Structure 1
Amino acid sequence: MRGTEASAALPAGVELYSLTADGTALLTSRTGRGDLLDPAALLPFIDSGQHARYLIGDASTSPERPSNATYKLGLMRGHSAFTPHAHGGEHFVLSLGYAACGLYDEDRQEPVTVRLTPGVMIRIPALLPHSFVNRGEGRLLILAANTGFGIDHEDYAITAEEAERRAADGPADGLDYPALAKALHAVGSAPAPGGISWRERAARAARRLAVRLEGPA
């Protein structure tokens, strides 16, 4: 079903989201179609130059101001990475492109890297140090769901610098902040995951063709 036909066929209040591995995001409703990544609707996302479009919840979500979870569309620059951090709640991320997730393995006391391809989702427990990398040269879309915390909350993304600051302030909430800071530094010093392989490039070309053939006009 093509664009104008899809718009006309939708019941009031229903929306379609067309998200591609190339970083485009269109929103279709009965009133028409628009760019889901309109700069006016984007909010900061952990690091300078990275952005997110909140779909459920907002930046002020917290245990004191709950919306159960935040669900947002993240936009990452080409060949960029988030500063290693840990969330106060569990975290789900669906990659729509070629990414990698650096994680700290507490049992082995070392960082590990998980390469992600379009359509792969990863669950990260609360307070597990991690970081995301865009392995491609173009922008990367990710869908991220966090339980209980919006980006304005102090426990949304605890960095090594913040963990060290809290450690200097002394124990307050039972967390081992020196150990958390050490793990976050380890994730940050892990080898880079590399770029996109030739197999992934071939798959990306096939995926682009599929989007042109079956996607909205």
Structure 2
Amino acid sequence: MKDEAELPTGVEVYRFGAAGDRTVTDRAGTRPLGADEDLLRFIDDGQLAHYFVGDARTSPERPSNATYKLGVVAPHSAFTPHAHGGEHFVLSLGHASCGLFDERRDTAVDLRLTPGTMVRIPAMMPHSFGNRATTPLLILAANTGFGIDHEDYAITAAEADRRGAVELTKALLALEERAPDLTTTWRERVASRLRRLASRVDGSP
């Protein structure tokens, strides 16, 4: 990333490559996301995780009971089947397998996930993820803390003003007044077409 010096303090930009590589960029520059302090053991030996929100000790007894993390699954391997106490969403950035247990039919169901596929898994449903490729599989897993009906899920400028949050209202209004750039470059349009073609070849929707 050439313009990291332009990033505001505290902003981080993550990039996930098709070969399982991952980097993080901030004002200090770009570095691989994969140092010992960045990745934790994820259920099994050889599987890794990096928390963006929450941490390894997050639980219903702690206020930060919502997590969002990156998982790194070793080539041609799978997690030990397990279940979670809460629902979660998993976005696959590669070629994955997802084994689920259908309690109603009393049988296992296998899903083949292609890059860009996300699956919602209800609480306490037994499941496992596997990597079908020869390169590390990256997955993004989220456990939600606020539902969309919660008053703090999406605070608008009007709501911030109603609450008397002066600085927040000011910041939100500034964003509203700044027209976003909704155009794409010709390179981006070509890349988009190529990705769609690749999805058809890959068997994705």
TM-score, normalised with respect to structure 2? 0.68
Counterpart of 1:142 in structure 2 is: 139
Counterpart of 1:27 in structure 2 is: 24
Kindly state the Cα deviation for residue 41 of structure 1 after the two structures are TM-superposed. Answer: 1.6
Question: 1:41, 1:30 → 2: CA distance?
Answer: 18
Secondary structure of the 1:85 match is: coil
Question: 1:137, 1:144 → 2: CA distance?
Answer: 21
1:111-190 to 2 correspondences below 5 Å:
111-147=108-144
Q: Which runs of 4+ in 1 moved over 6 A?
A: none
1:68 equivalenced with 2:71 (yes/no): no
1:107-144 per-position Cα deviation (integer Å, ceiling 9, x unaligned): 21111111111111111000001010100011111111
Question: 1:106, 1:51 → 2: CA distance?
Answer: 29
Question: 2:68, 2:81 → 1: CA distance?
Answer: 20
1:4 maps to which of 2, 14, 21: 2
1:187-208 per-position Cα deviation (integer Å, ceiling 9, x unaligned): xxxxxxxxxxxxxxx949x99x
Question: 1:57, 1:38 → 2: CA distance?
Answer: 19
- Larger relative contact order (CA 8 Å, sep ≥ 6): 1
**Considering only aligned residues, what root-mean-square deviation do their CA atoms show, in Å?**
2.0
Amino acid paired to 2:75:
G
Identity of aligned residues (%): 61
5+ residue gaps, structure 2: 146-196
1:143-167 per-position Cα deviation (integer Å, ceiling 9, x unaligned): 111357xxxxxxxxxxxxxxxxxxx
Counterpart of 2:13 in structure 1 is: 16
1:80-113 per-position Cα deviation (integer Å, ceiling 9, x unaligned): 0001111011111110100010111122111111
TM-score, normalised with respect to structure 1? 0.65
Question: 2:108, 2:18 → 1: CA distance?
Answer: 27
Counterpart of 1:45 in structure 2 is: 42
Amino acid paired to 1:85:
H
Instruction: Give 1 or 2: higher helix fraction.
Output: 1
Question: 1:109, 1:36 → 2: CA distance?
Answer: 40
Secondary structure of the 1:41 match is: coil
1:105 maps to which of 102, 107, 111: 102
Amino acid paired to 1:115:
R
Counting matched residue pairs gives 150
Question: 1:128, 1:9 → 2: CA distance?
Answer: 44
| Structure of greater Rg | 2
Question: 1:58, 1:134 → 2: CA distance?
Answer: 24
5+ residue gaps, structure 1: 149-201, 208-217
